[in-house]
Amino acid sequence: MTEAATDITEDAFLGGQLRLKQKRSGHRAGHDAILLAAATEASPGDRAVDFGAGIGAAGLALARRVSGLRLSLVEIDPELAELARANAAENGIAADVIVLDVTADAQAFAAQGLVPDGADVVLMNPPFNDPARHRGSPDQMRRTAHVATEETLHAWVHAARRILRSNGVLTLIWRADGVAEVLAALSRGFGSLSVLPVHGEAGRPAIRVLVRAVKGGRAPTRLLPGLMLHEEQRVPKNEVRNILEGRAVLPLAEP
């Protein structure tokens, strides 16, 4: 076995419905990606675009749940994009894998077929660690995957707004203590927000927020009851287990 081969693991997601190859070191897909997919509303035939797709975990999990999805996986790292392409093929899921910086301009997006008003759904897990409080990895690509600049979220939301059709839906995951940043970034062009706090365990502050936003939406913002990932014994709750294994979705994904 070559050194390159031993650097790759194959891991089961959605209770084995999805098997994904990923690098042993660096950024690895986990619960955030599956929760993001489970929070994303989509219908057969929709054009769905996964920003910062990595190895494709969130987008492919969504496509496994929603048949007939027209899926694009956008990733800046060519190595991860190649893994995403292989993962889509090996799981029998049609996906267009695009190597592109999400912060690129409209012309760069259009050159890759991501034209204004052309998508029904965008889902994204942007880099969200605060550089002031998070010591970045010496690995450049891992640092890119995890650490946000002051402009990261606004740039990603702007790109989503550009490619979404009117009433198209954006779903994102972010750290819970940055919820004000999320609301500020979505204040231009988005409305009908639904916010779902995610707690590691009951009685502790939320660690993530999942947010659904509608381009041009006008309904009031909804703050949903929090999702508790673990029981007191640090055992995943049955509700969470069903979500992670692909047997249930989160309220944000329900029409």
pLDDT in tens, 114-147: 999 999 999 999 997 655 544 544 445 444 444 5
Residue 129, pLDDT score? 60
Question: Per residue in 9-46, pLDDT tens?
Answer: 999 999 999 999 999 888 889 999 999 999 999 999 99
Which helix H or strand E contains 174, and what residues bound it? strand 164-175
Residue 66 has pLDDT above 50, yes or no: yes
Between the CA atoms of 225, 160, 147 and 99, what dihedral angle is there, to the nearest 10 degrees? 130
Residue 160 and residue 51 in contact, taking contact as beta carbons nearer than 8 Å: yes
Listed residue (121, 131, 62, 124) closest to 93, CA to CA: 62
Residue 133, pLDDT score? 44
Residue 114 and residue 72 in contact, taking contact as beta carbons nearer than 8 Å: yes
Q: What percentage of the chain has pLDDT greater than the value 90?
A: 80
Residue 49 and residue 119 in contact, taking contact as beta carbons nearer than 8 Å: yes
Identify residue 102 by its one-letter amino acid code: V
Q: What percentage of the chain has pLDDT greater than the value 70?
A: 87
Residue 237 has pLDDT above 70, yes or no: yes
Mean pLDDT of the region 196-220: 95
Residue 41, pLDDT score? 97
Q: Which of 1-15, 86-100, 121-135 has the lowest mean pLDDT?
A: 121-135
The span from the CA of 133 to the CA of 203, in Å, is 24
Sequence-ordered list of residues with C-beta below 8 angstroms from that of 246, at least 6 positions apart, any chain: 14, 15, 17, 18, 61, 64, 65
Residue 107 has pLDDT above 70, yes or no: yes
Q: Report residue 182 CA to chain centroid gap.
A: 14
* Strand ranges, E, within 14-103: 18-23, 47-51, 70-75, 95-99
Which residue do the tokens 């008003």 mark?
Answer: 117
Helix (H, G, I), strand (E, B) or coil at 149: coil
The span from the CA of 169 to the CA of 222, in Å, is 15
Listed residue (46, 55, 52, 78) closest to 173, CA to CA: 52
Mean model confidence pLDDT for the chain: 90
Residue 4, pLDDT score? 54
